[in-house]
A and B are shown apart, each in its own frame.
Chain A
Amino acid sequence: MMDQKTIIQTTQLTMVYGMGEISVAALDGVSIQIQTGEFVAIMGPSGSGKSTLMNILGCLSKPTSGSYILDGEDVSELSKVELAAIRNQKLGYVFQSYNLLARTSALSNVMLPLLYDRQKQPDRETREIQAKAVLEAVGLEDRMLHQPHELSGGQQQRVAIARALVNDPVLILADEPTGNLDSKSGEEIMDLLHVLHDQGRTIVMVTHDPEIARHTERAIHLQDGRVETVIENGRTGRIIRTGGGDHEAA
C-alpha cells in the first residue's frame, strides 16, 4: 500500500455493439486509472456502460478500441486462451447471484480456480489446503462440505468471495455483491470486503446503490458510456467485526 503502483490503466476504451447504422456505443472513450490497494466503486444508471466496463476490466471481453493495461500488462489484444490465464492468475470475481456450482460443496467450489491453474498445477491436496484456508478466512470453516442450497445467501456470497481469493488475485471485481442480499447480510459482506481491502487487496465494485458506494474510497460515475464524475470519499477508517474474529483496520 505504500507504493501507489498503478494496477488498472485504461486509455480511450470504446465498446461498440452491432455494426453500421444500428451500432450502439456502450463505452465511448473511458480512461481511468486505479492504484494498488484502492477500493473503487463504478456507478451509473442501467445502460450507462458500467457492466460493459466491468466485463472488460475482468478480462471477460475485449474492447473495440483503446488499451487496457492490467498489472503492467496490455491485455486488450490478448487471445481467448491468454485472457483465461489472466483471469485465472490475476483476477477474482464476486457476482451478484454468487454463481456457485450447484450440487457441489463449498470446498469444491472454492477449489475450482486452482483446477485451471496451468502455471503451478497444484495437486488435489494442495488445492484443498488452500481452499480450506480461504474458507476459514471468510468464517465458513464449519460449512465447507455444505452445498450451496444448504447455505444462506450471505454464506453463499462468502463462498464466492473465498473462491475469488483462493488464487491470490491482484484485483477483485465485485458486481453488485450485495444486490441479492438482505441488508444485514449485505452489511456483513461489505464488512468482509473492507477487511480484504484493509489487508491490501485492490477491489473494484459495480453498484447502483449510493449507500454501498459510500463504503469505497472513490466512486467513478458513468453516464452514456463516458466517465461523468469521480467522487473522492477519502479513506474510511473503521473497526470491523466479522464472524467471531476481530480484524483491526489499518
Chain B
Amino acid sequence: MKPLEFLRVAWESISRNKLRSLLTMLGIIIGVASVIIMIAISSGTEATIEEQITGLGSNLVFVTANFTRAGFGFGGPQGGRSSGLVFDDAFAIAEEISGVKAVVVEQPSSENVKFENITLSGVSILGTTSDFPSVRDMEIDQGRYFNQIEIDRKQKVAVLGSSLAAELFGESNSIGQTVTVDTTKLVVIGVLQEKGLVGDVDFDSRLYTPITVVFQKFTPSQFARFRGDRVRVIYVEIEELDRINDTILQIELLLAKRHDVSLEEADFNLTTQQAIIATQEATTAAFRSLLAWVAGVSLIVGGIGIMNIMLVSVTERTREIGVRQSVGATPADIRWQFLTEALLLSLAGGVIGVIAGAGGSWLFGEIGGMRTVIVPTSILLAFASAVIVGVFFGFYPANKASQLDPIEALRYE
C-alpha cells in the first residue's frame, strides 16, 4: 500500500467515527492549547518585568532602612543607636564615597491636594532632591524640576506627575498655579512626562516637592525627626558598574560607622538593580518552568487519551481488522493504518489546539486582564510535541492491532 492510500483509509475511518475522533483529539487539543496559552502568559509577564527593569534607572544602588534591626524606639534597649536612615546619611555618602555620581533621597507622605474646586484625597507626596529626574529616568514635560537652592531654602514649589497634572488642570497650563497640599500652598514649577507603572509604583500620579518641605510640613509626627530627618530610600547612582561591589562596601562601612552598628546587625539594606533584576528573572524562570511542566503533563495526558481511545477502537474494530487480514493485509499494513490514524488525529488536534491556544491567549489578555504574548516558536513546539505524542502513544494500540490473529479477529463478536 502506498502512503497516500494509508492516508485515505485513515481519513475514511476518522470521518466514519466523528464523535470518537473528536474525543480522541480532545486531549491533544487541550494539551496544545495549554502549551501555547501558558507560554503566552509567561512571555507576557516577562515582557512586563523587562519594561519595569528598564524603568528602574541605571547603575542604581538602593539604600533602605532595615526596621527589623533598627527598632522603632528612640530610647529603647538599643539606646544610642540609630533608628533608620536620615537625610544627613545621604550627604555623607555624596561627600565621602568616591565613584558616586548622584545621591537622591525620597520621603513619601500622603495628603489631600486642592486646586480651585477640585480636591484629590490621598495623593502621594514625594520629597526628593534635585537629581531625582536623572537618577530615576524621568523626563520634564513642561517647566523645570526644583534645584538645590530651592531645597536649601525650603521653597514651597511642586512638580506634578503627568496624570496628576491632568486631573487637576486638565488641558490648561499648570505652571505658576498654586495648589494646596494639606494646608500648605505650593507653586507648580514643572510637569513630568508620562512614565507609567514601575513595579506597583505609579510615577505619574505623584506630587514631587523638595525633601526639606516634606520634613518641615508633611512628616507625620515630630518624634520621627528626633535624630534627624528620616528618609525612606537613598538612591545612589554610581559612575562605574565594574566597581559597584567596592562602592557598596564603602557605603556599608560608612553607614555602619555613622549608625554605630556592626555590619552584621546593620539597620539598613543595600540592594542593587542587578540584584532586583536577578530576583525577578529567577522568579520568572521558576514560573516559566512550572508552566512548562503543567503544559508537558497536559500533553502527556492528551497522549494517554489518544492511546485509550485507540485501544478501545482496536477492540471495537477487531472484526474489521480480521476482514482486512483475510483479504491480504499484512501486520505492517494494519500497524500503518492505525499509526496513520493516530498521526492524522494528532495533527488535526494540533491544528485545532493552535487555534484554541491563540484564541485562549487573546481571551486571557482581553477578559482575564493578563498580558499575553503569543510566541511563534511555542506554536511550533506545541504542534511538534502533539504529533510526537500522538505517534508515540498511537504505536502501542497500532502494534496490538497488527498482532491480532486473523481467525480470532474474524470470530470476535
Contact = CB atoms under 8 A, between A and B. Distances in A.
Contacts of B330: 80-81, 84-85, 116
Nearest to B405: A61
B325 interface: yes
A55 interface: yes
- The dominant DSSP class at the B interface is helix
A116 B329 contact: yes
Interface residues of B, number: 24
Greatest chain B CB density within 10 A among A81, A116, A163 is at A116
Contact of A101 (B1, B320, B328): B320
B410 A87 contact: no
Given A99-B319, A101-B320, A103-B16, A115 B326 contact: no
The listed residue with most B CB atoms (<10 A of its CB), out of A93, A101, A113, A115, is A115
A60 B407 contact: yes
Contacts of A61: 405-407
Interface in A63-102: 80-81, 84-85, 87-89, 93, 95, 99-102
B9 A115 contact: yes
A58 B406 CA distance: 11
A95 B327 contact: no
Given A55-B407, A60-B407, A61-B407, A93 B326 contact: yes
Contacts of B1: 115-116
B365 interface: no
Contacts of B9: 115
Contacts of B328: 84-85, 87-89, 113, 116-117, 167
Nearest to A109: B323
B5 interface: yes
B5 A99 contact: no
Interface string A92-135: 01010001111110001000110111000100000000000000
Contacts of A55: 407
Contact of B326 (A85, A89, A99, A117): A99
Given A99-B319, A99-B322, A112 B2 contact: no
A116 B319 contact: no
Contact of B327 (A81, A103, A104, A116): A116
B322 to A, nearest CB: 7
A111 to B, nearest CB: 10
B333 A95 contact: no
A115 B331 CA distance: 14
B323 A112 contact: yes
Contacts of A95: 410
Given A115-B1, A115-B5, A116-B1, A84 B329 contact: yes
B381 interface: no
Given A88-B327, A115-B9, A81 B332 contact: yes
Given A61-B407, A121-B2, A87 B327 contact: yes
A108 B1 CA distance: 15
A101 B329 contact: no
Given A81-B330, A103-B16, A60 B406 contact: yes
A222 to B, nearest CB: 17
A55 B1 CA distance: 25
Interface string B38-51: 00000000000000
B154 interface: no
B324 interface: yes
A80 B326 contact: no
B326 A81 contact: no
Nearest to B323: A99
Given A60-B407, A99-B410, A116-B1, A81 B331 contact: yes
Contacts of A84: 325, 328-331, 333
A92 B225 CA distance: 106
Contacts of A108: 12
Interface string B4-21: 010001001000100000
A102 B317 CA distance: 10
A60 B407 CA distance: 6
B324 to A, nearest CB: 7
A128 B320 CA distance: 21
Contacts of B320: 101-102
Contacts of A81: 330-332
Contacts of A102: 320
B338 to A, nearest CB: 15
Given A80-B330, A100-B323, 4 more contacts: A61-B407, A99-B319, A113-B328, A116-B330
Interface of B: 1-2, 5, 9, 12, 16, 319-320, 322-333, 405-407, 410
Interface of A: 55, 58, 60-61, 80-81, 84-85, 87-89, 93, 95, 99-104, 108, 112-113, 115-117, 121, 163, 167
